[in-house]
Amino acid sequence: MPRCLKCGNTKVLASSITSRLEETANPPTYGLLANFDRNGRILTMECQGSDLDEAQEAFENPALYLDTCPVCGSKHIQWQN
């Protein structure tokens, strides 16, 4: 189960390395967000500029892509099996 070491968030993580929309005045902060269940499994993913290939890669390798807590902005994420 992923957990932010700064704020304790276990429900949602973001990717700072995937594409994001930049053509508007207020683009989304992250290109991809993943929502987790209480067992640490991905429930849903929100693509905010990421393409489907990036989303699939993140789904298959979440610890490599989901590297940021969107709640507090920390990149200190702990992944447990």
How confident is the model over 14-64, as pLDDT tens digits?
Answer: 998 876 665 655 566 788 999 999 999 999 999 887 888 888 999 999 999
- The more confidently predicted of residues 8 and 17 is 8
Q: Are strands 77-79 and 42-47 parallel, antiparallel or unpaired?
A: unpaired
In a 13 Å sphere around the CA of 72, the CA atoms on its Cβ side amount to 13
- The more confidently predicted of residues 58 and 81 is 58
pTM (predicted TM-score): 0.85
Identify which of 9, 7, 10, 32 has the alpha carbon closest to the alpha carbon of residue 19. 32
Where exactly are the structural domains of the chain? Answer: 2-79
